[in-house]
Structure 1
Amino acid sequence: MARLLMMCICIVQMSVLQIRGAAENTPVLQILQGKLMGLEMRNGYWQYLGIPYGTVDDRFQEAGPPPRWLGVFNASDTSVVCAQYHGRLQLPVGIEDCLVLNIYTPGPKSYFDEVFGTGHRLGA
């Protein structure tokens, strides 16, 4: 029971650490599977988390095509943790079906704009 509680606490802590710098939602993007929206971080970067890139029916089989969705996919899910062994808990954590992408990209205003201005873009 103590190990299960410790595992839950670790997963929550990992989620909080990834969201800590989040400020607001990004603009909605259109990709092949549908529309998605991520989070804009306080440092100016955009993050899109948990975007599915394949489907799996059976274990150890070739992945199928990515799923499509209607509406806007909320790409801010930090709860997807791939199966791995947690040394401190001494047990496996995560899920096997983790065919998702986490994408990080500079937003329209990044940290470098605040520190260096726009000189690095203009060659000054």
Structure 2
Amino acid sequence: MNDDHAALIEVFKTLSNPHRWQILLWLQAPQQHFAELAAQSEREPHPDADEYDICVGAIASKSGLAQSVVSGYLAALKNAGLVRSRRLGQWTYYRYDPEGAAQFMQRLHAAFQHTRKT
């Protein structure tokens, strides 16, 4: 097994957890999945955050999971290249990374093409 295959397997392991998978899907369409939470929030979002930036607390609230668990799941998704984070003040915001997801799909396609040729 080469390094590219090992990296692909690590992404699949990350996505095999149903909570991480659900969080990724929510982050892919944040306006749809977090609009209600934003309306109910007593805290103003950071002025530099936009509608694609979702804080850990909002994800924890929606999922019903502890914030520490959600932080760990987001770290795994970030390490897999599927989400990006940015720090604004005391908050860390996450968003889906379409370029990272596209790179994963390209690597997966290349692995299948390589396997076909051998």
TM-score by length of 2: 0.26
| Structure that is richer in strand per residue | 1
TM-score normalised by L of structure 1:
0.25
Please tell me whether Structure 1 or Structure 2 has the larger radius of gyration of its CA atoms.
Answer: 1
**Structure with more relative contact order (C-alpha pairs < 8 Å, separation 6 or more):** 2
- Larger relative helix fraction: 2
